[in-house]
Amino acid sequence: MVSRFAARVYVLTSEVPRGKVTTYGAIAARMGKPGASRAVGAALRANPTPIVVPCHRVVKQDGELGGYGGPTGTGRKAALLRKEGVAVRGGRVDLSEYLFTWR
């Protein structure tokens, strides 16, 4: 059973389209909890349905990839993003080009 907080994180993460990324902080802010970026990361770390809930599309505030579960970690996250058309250079995404924001 996932918490209501985690369920909301998964819904918002699922709204990020292919070819775009968002940040842990942006999800927290969208939830009305601007100081909860670490809690967003914890919820995504426990994501029971990776890919379905595309947690690979969530990066740090500075564009750094951040963590990703599985045996290959951030290498897999970078590969998934590249497959979706997001350029990853030096372990970072250019947020000026790829950042998704809610309107």
Model confidence at 96, pLDDT cuts 50, 70, 90, reads very high
For residue 29, pLDDT over 90 is answered with: yes
Asked if the structure places residue 63 within a domain, the reply is yes
User: Exposed, middle or buried: residue 76 (CB in 10 Å: 0-12, 13-18, 19+)?
Assistant: middle
State the average pLDDT over residues 47-58.
92
Asked if the structure places residue 72 within a domain, the reply is yes
Percent of the chain's residues with pLDDT above 90: 83
Asked if the structure places residue 103 within a domain, the reply is no
Which residues constitute the domain of residue 71? 4-98
For 98, phi and psi rounded to 5 degrees?
Answer: -115, 0
- Domain total for the chain? 1
Model confidence at 70, pLDDT cuts 50, 70, 90, reads low
The answer to whether 9 touches 27, Cβ cutoff 8 Å, is yes
22 is catalytic: no
Asked if the structure places residue 13 within a domain, the reply is yes
Q: What is this structure's pTM? A: 0.94
The CATH number linked to 91 is 1.10.10.10
State the average pLDDT over residues 44-51.
90
Residue of 12, 36, 53, 55 marked catalytic? 55
Asked if the structure places residue 11 within a domain, the reply is yes
